[in-house]
Amino acid sequence: MKIYKFGGASIKDSDGVRNLISILKIKKTEKTLIVVSAMGKTTNKFEQVVDNYFNNKNNLDNSLKLVYDYHNQILENLFENANNKINNEIKLIFRNIKEFLKKNKSPNYSFVYDQVVSNGELISSKIICEFLNNNGVATNWIDAREIIKTDSKYRGANVNWEETKRKISENVDLNQLNITQGFVASDNNNFTTTLGREGSDYSAAIIAFCLNARSLTIWKDVPGVLNCDPKVFKNSVLLENISYSEAIELAFYGASVIHPKTLQPLQKKEIPLLVKPFSDPNSNGTKITRGIKINPKVPCFIVKNNLSLIKLSSLDFSFIVEENISEIFQELHENKIKVDLTQNSAISIYLCIEDKYFRLDKLLSKLKAKFKVKYVDNVDLYTIRHFDKNSSKKILQDHNLILEQRTNEVLKLVVKKI
Ligand code: ASP
Ligand code: MG
C-alpha cells in the first residue's frame, strides 16, 4: 500500500482538485489510500464559526455561510452540470452542523470545536471522492471516524493503536483507491475528535503504520523539505535526503513542513516519508529514511518568533541549583509554557520561552517572590543545524544578539530585530 496526503493548500480550489487527479493518474491508483485536509483555509473559517457560537451569536449564520459559499464555488467550477448528489450531500452537512449547534447543550468548547471543525475534512473528501468517481477513478470513501479511534481529549486526542489497527484492516479496500480525512477521528462514544491543528500528516502516518505501507508521500506547495523558510530567507536549498531524527529535530523547533508527531510511527516501521511538490509530481522532492546523512550538507535555519527571554537570579547570591530549577520547571509546566532554550550559571538561569496561552504574567508574579526577574519580550530564536562560519553573520545583519549557545552540530541564537 502507498499513502498520499494532500494538504489544504494543494486543494484550495478546483484547479487543485484537478491537479490531484492528474497526479493520481500518473502514479496509478491501485493499493493507494489518500488522506485529505480541509480545503484552503476552511479550518480557520470553521474555527471562527465555533468562536461565534460561543462568543458572538449574531455572526454565527454569516460565518457558516462563508464556509458554504466557498465550497459551493468549488463545486460549481468542478462539475459542469450541477451534480445534485454531491450538492445535496454538502447541503446536508451544513444542515447537520446547524442542527447540532441548535441542540447542543455542552459548554465544552473543545468538544463543540471537534464536532464542527472536523466537517472541513468531511466536505473536502466527499467533493474529491465524487470528482474522482465522475472521472473514471473508482474511489472508496472511508469515514476516518470509523478507522481512527482515540480517547476523548478533544482538539488533541490520543490514538488507541490496537483498535485503530483492527478498524483500518477491516475498512480499507486493498484493490482500489481509498480516500479518507486527515485530522479527524472518534472516541469510544463515537463522538468526533481531532488530532490537533495540522494533524492530517499525523493521520496519514497512523494509517501508514497500521497498514505497514510501502511509503507515505506528503504533497506540498514547496519543492520538499527546504533548509530554511523561503518566506524568511533568500536562496533556500532543497534537502534531498534526511534521516528521521534530522526531520524530527527540524519539525520540533518549528520548521512547519511536517507535523512533529508524524515521524515517530513512520520511524518505528521504517516507512519512508517522501515530501513532494504537487506542482511537479515527477520530481524527487525529499526522501526521509533511517540513518541517512543529510544531503546536501547545508546549514538548516529554523526560526521561532515572538518568544520571551527570562533571566531569574537568586535574591541573596545563593546558588541556582537543581532544587530551584525543578521548582521553576514545575511552574512552567503548570502554566503550559514551553521552554525552547535554557542556560544557567551559578546564580542565574536564562529561559527562552513560548507563552502560547498568555500565562506569562501570572508566572512572573509568582517567580518574583523567590527570584530577581529580568525579562525581554519579543525575541526570536534561530536554531541552525549544521552551521558554518557564515551562518550567524546572516542573522546578525539585522538582529542584535542577546544569547548564543552551541554544540558541534547546532547553533542557537536568541536575538532581537534591530
Ligand atoms: N485542516 C486541519 C488544519 O488546518 C488539519 C490539517 O490541515 O492538517 O489544521
Ligand atoms: Mg489544513
Question: pLDDT (tens digit, 9 = 90+) per residue, 373-417?
Answer: 999 999 999 999 999 999 999 999 999 999 999 999 999 999 999
Cα–Cα separations (whole angstroms), residue 240 to 78, 216, 226, 257, 325: 35, 16, 9, 14, 41
Cβ–ligand 1 contact at 197 (below 6 Å): yes
Among 93, 100, 86, 168, smallest CA distance to 133 is for 86
Look at residue 357 and tell me whether its pLDDT is greater than 90: no
Atom of ligand 1 at shortest distance to CA of 201?
8
Q: Which ligand approaches the C-alpha of residue 40 most closely?
A: 2
Q: Which ligand approaches the C-alpha of residue 256 most closely?
A: 1
- 138 - beta bridge partners? none
* Residue 417 pLDDT: 94
Percent of the chain with pLDDT over 70: 99
Instruction: Pick the range with the lowest mean pLDDT from 43-52, 88-97, 193-202, 351-360.
Output: 351-360
What nine digits make up the cell of 46?
A: 470553521
Distance of CA 350 from the midpoint of ligand 1 (Å): 34
Look at residue 66 and tell me whether its pLDDT is greater than 80: yes
Residues 59-68 have a mean pLDDT of 98
pLDDT one-digit tens code per residue, 98-129:
999 999 999 999 999 999 999 999 999 999 99
pLDDT one-digit tens code per residue, 279-329:
999 999 999 999 999 999 999 999 999 999 999 999 888 888 898 899 999
Cβ–ligand 1 contact at 198 (below 6 Å): yes
Cβ–ligand 1 contact at 40 (below 6 Å): no
* Residue 184 pLDDT: 98
Cβ–ligand 1 contact at 281 (below 6 Å): no
Cβ–ligand 1 contact at 223 (below 6 Å): no
Cβ–ligand 1 contact at 150 (below 6 Å): no
Look at residue 253 and tell me whether its pLDDT is greater than 90: no
Atom of ligand 1 at shortest distance to CA of 7?
7
**Residue whose CA lies nearest to ligand 1 atom number 6:** 198
Distance of CA 40 from the midpoint of ligand 1 (Å): 9
pLDDT one-digit tens code per residue, 196-236:
999 999 999 999 999 999 999 999 988 999 998 888 888 88
Percent of the chain with pLDDT over 90: 83
Dist. CA 406–CA 410, nearest whole Å? 6
pLDDT one-digit tens code per residue, 153-206:
999 999 999 999 999 999 998 888 999 999 999 999 999 999 999 999 999 999
Distance of CA 338 from the midpoint of ligand 2 (Å): 24
Q: What is the mean pLDDT of the chain?
A: 94
107 versus 251: the higher-pLDDT residue is 107
Look at residue 255 and tell me whether its pLDDT is greater than 70: no
* Residue 318 pLDDT: 85
Atom of ligand 1 at shortest distance to CA of 8?
7
* Residue 252 pLDDT: 64
Atom of ligand 1 at shortest distance to CA of 120?
1
